[in-house]
Amino acid sequence: MLVEVFADHESISDRAAEVVTEQLRRKPDSVLGFATGSTPLGLYKRLIRNHEERGLDFSKMTTFNLDEYVGLPPTHPQSYHHFMWENLFNHINVNESRVYIPHGMSDDVDSFCAWYEKQIEDAGGIDLQILGIGANGHLAFNEPGSSLGSRTRIKTLTEKTVRDNARFFEEGEAVPHQAITMGVGTIMDAETVLLLASGERKAQAIRDALEGPVTGMCPATVVQMHRFAHILLDGEAASKLEYRHHGGIAEPKP
Ligand code: F6R
Mean pLDDT, range 230-245, rounded to an integer: 89
- Report the chain's mean pLDDT, rounded to a whole number: 94
Residue 229 is assigned to a structural domain of this protein:
no
pLDDT over 70 at 254, yes or no? no
Distance of alpha carbon 47 from alpha carbon 174, whole angstroms: 33
pLDDT of 108-161, one tens digit each? 999 999 999 999 999 999 999 999 999 999 999 999 999 999 999 999 998 888
- How many domains in the chain? 1
| Full domain range(s) for residue 98 | 8-125+142-195
Higher pLDDT, 91 or 170: 91
What is the model's pLDDT at position 247? 54
What is the model's pLDDT at position 181? 98
- Specify the CATH number for the domain of residue 103: 3.40.50.1360
Mean pLDDT, range 223-252, rounded to an integer: 81
What is the model's pLDDT at position 172? 87
Residue 50 is assigned to a structural domain of this protein:
yes
What is the model's pLDDT at position 243? 81
Query: End-to-end alpha-carbon separation of the chain, Å?
Result: 20
Q: Which of 80, 100, 138 to mutate to test the pocket of ligand 1 (most atoms within 8 A of CB)?
A: 138
Q: Tell how strand 249-252 and strand 243-246 pair up.
A: antiparallel
Residue 75 is assigned to a structural domain of this protein:
yes
> Residues 233, 5: contact at Cβ < 8 Å?
yes
Comparing CA positions, the residue from 58, 109, 60, 102 lying closest to residue 81 is 102
Residue 2 is assigned to a structural domain of this protein:
no
Angle of helix 41-54 versus helix 9-26 axis, rounded to 10:
50
pLDDT of 13-56, one tens digit each? 999 999 999 999 999 999 999 999 999 999 999 999 999 999 99
For ligand 1, atom 10, the nearest C-alpha belongs to: 132
Q: Which residues pair with 252 in a beta bridge?
A: 243
Q: Which of 64, 65, 66 to mutate to test the pocket of ligand 1 (most atoms within 8 A of CB)?
A: 66
Annotate 58-107 with three-state secondary structure: CCCCEEEECEEECCCCCCCCCCHHHHHHHHCHHHCCCCHHHEECCCCCCC
Residue 214 is assigned to a structural domain of this protein:
no
Comparing CA positions, the residue from 12, 219, 43, 18 lying closest to residue 3 is 12
User: pTM of the prediction?
Assistant: 0.95
Distance of alpha carbon 181 from alpha carbon 53, whole angstroms: 34
**How many CA atoms within 13 Å lie on the side-chain side of 96?**
4
Residue 234 is assigned to a structural domain of this protein:
no
Residue 252 is assigned to a structural domain of this protein:
no
Centre of ligand 1 from the C-alpha of residue 215, in Å: 19
Residue 225 is assigned to a structural domain of this protein:
no
pLDDT over 70 at 104, yes or no? yes
162-166: list long-range contacts, CB under 8 Å, 24+ apart.
165/78
